[in-house]
Amino acid sequence: MKTQHLLIHGRVQGVWFRESMRSEALRLNVTGWVRNTPDGTVEAVVQGEEAAVDALIEWAHRGPPQARVDRVEVESDESLGPFSGFDKRVD
C-alpha cells in the first residue's frame, strides 16, 4: 500500500479537476480525497497499490482537458489513512 500527498499547481480550479481526479481514482481503485485550497492549488491524498497510485500521479501531471498543470509536488505520507472510497472535500 502506497500513500502520497499531492499539491497540484497551475490552472487547476474551476476546470473540473477534482471530479475528474475522483473518477480516475475510482477507475484505478485508488482511495483518498481531493480538495481546492485557498491559494489556488489542488491538494490530494491518494492511497492504493503502487502501480495504481503512480498512474494517478501521472494523470495529475496532465489533469482534465481544461486544466494547465504547472507542477505537482509529491510527498510520501504513510501516516494518513486508511481510506475507503475517494472523496471531494470542500473544507
Active site residues: 18, 36
Q: State the DSSP string of 54-85.
A: HHHHHHHTT-STT-EEEEEEEEE-TTS----S
Give 42-54 as a DSSP string: EEEEEEE-HHHHH
- CA quadruple 72, 77, 83, 88: dihedral positive or negative? negative
Fill in the amino acid letter for 91: D
